[in-house]
Structure 1
Amino acid sequence: MKWSITQLRKYQGKPFEFDQTVNFNHLIDKLGLIDLSDIRVKGQLDVKSNEVVADMHITGEYTMEDARALEPVKVPIDVETTEIFDLEGHEYSDDEDDENENYHLALSGMIDLRDIAEELVIIEKPIRAVADDSSIDDMLQEGQGWEVIDEDQLEQNEQADEGSKKVDPRLQNYTIL
């Protein structure tokens, strides 16, 4: 997913189409995923006199833990973006950064879409995933040293604790204000 500008100049006036599959397995641990499928990057490059416009469609699949039941859930990746590469090396000020986030300099005479695709895979990852067929009943109800209880059980436990509390005899004559 890396092309030289001289190679792309041959396609000036007509689109250069690409369809490649990339592997970002090094992101699995960084993003806290169970698995990450190969990512398909498809699109076209339009070469103009002073810029290259890349229309990209990125697809793939994250495998994450269900937020309720901790079972594996497949979450699709489907992102479309348009990135513009400046061939003239125009420098931008910090004030323009927000509005030009899809604008890149063509460094060392190359157009490299791999880094952009990787960044989009990172950005598009959802914070949590819930399976469509997951319900509250599937949630873990207890674990090592803990359990989920409802409000009625909480009140019963509090009442039982109050009845069984013993007051230190030295403090028996004092009243709490």
Structure 2
Amino acid sequence: MKWSLMELRRYKDEPLVIDTTIELADTLLKRDETILAVGPARVVGTMNVEPREYIAQVQVDVVLTLPSSRSLQPVEYPMSIAFDEIYMTPEEYALVKGTDGYEHAIVLDSTTIDLREAIEDYILLNIPLQVLTEEEMASDDLPSGDSWTIMSEEDYLYQQMETQAQTIDPRLAKLSALLDNNEESE
């Protein structure tokens, strides 16, 4: 997934077609300790060579094995990520700096473009915060233990409203007692 700029210039008339499978397990497991396993990544896309930039349009399909957010059980999580990247040499970037559309261009520090790094970054950025097993998704039960429970935000807000309704402002407690006495005397 690495090409020299000289090699890419041969594709200025027609795009370089990318259709391959790569192994990312060794580097992804080092970069993120929460990943348990990584399947082969299918990479499909094109690399277009323009006069001032190199544009990669890529689709990556990979299956990660991640721990469940609730039970830490292994969960296979299929990912399908599409991204576009614009690569420029420092000289090319200096000519267009400040121009709309080039704010997110990647300035190359060598004479090669390595898509593997971008693929790994996009995979890591798209790992969800919540991963659940099929049983956990089907169940409405939330984990609990000795003197603790997990509750939904809606349940928490409802409980807070009930608690506030039952709490009497200490400044008005005597007035409340006076009202109670009036109701008893009637």
TM-score, normalization by structure 1: 0.67
Question: Does the C-alpha gap of structure 1 residues 50 and 89 become closer, same or farther in structure 2, counting only changes over 3 Å?
Answer: closer
Alignment partners' CA distance in 1, 2:53 and 2:110: 14
Could you tell me how far apart the structure 1 residues matched to 2:148 and 2:23 are? 43
Comparing 33-42 and 122-131, the one that deviates more: 33-42
Write the distance in 2 (CA, Å) between the matches of 1:116 and 1:28.
Answer: 16
Q: Matches of 1:109 and 1:136 in 2, distance apart?
A: 54
Identical aligned residues as a percent: 24
Contact map agreement 1:22 1:41 (CA 8 A) in 2: no
- The count of aligned residue pairs is 143
CA RMSD of aligned residues (A): 2.8
Instruction: Give the aligned partner of residue 154 of structure 1.
Output: none
Secondary structure of 2:84's partner? strand
Work out whether residues 53 and 92 of structure 2, in 8 Å CA contact, stay in contact via their aligned partners in 1: no
- Matched residue SS, 1:90: helix
Give the TM-score normalised by structure 2. Answer: 0.64
Can you list the C-alpha shifts for 1:101-143, whole angstroms capped at 9, x where unaligned?
3x11233221111111111111111112012332245x6655x
The 2-side partners of 1:50 and 1:32 are apart by 39
1:35 aligns with 2:48: no
Partner SS, residue 8 of structure 2: helix
Task: Kindly indicate whether structure 1 or structure 2 has the higher relative contact order, using CA contacts under 8 Å at least 6 residues apart.
Answer: 1
Equivalent residue letter for 1:100: E
5+ residue gaps, structure 2: 151-186
Stretches of structure 1 lacking an aligned partner (at least 5 in a row): 151-177
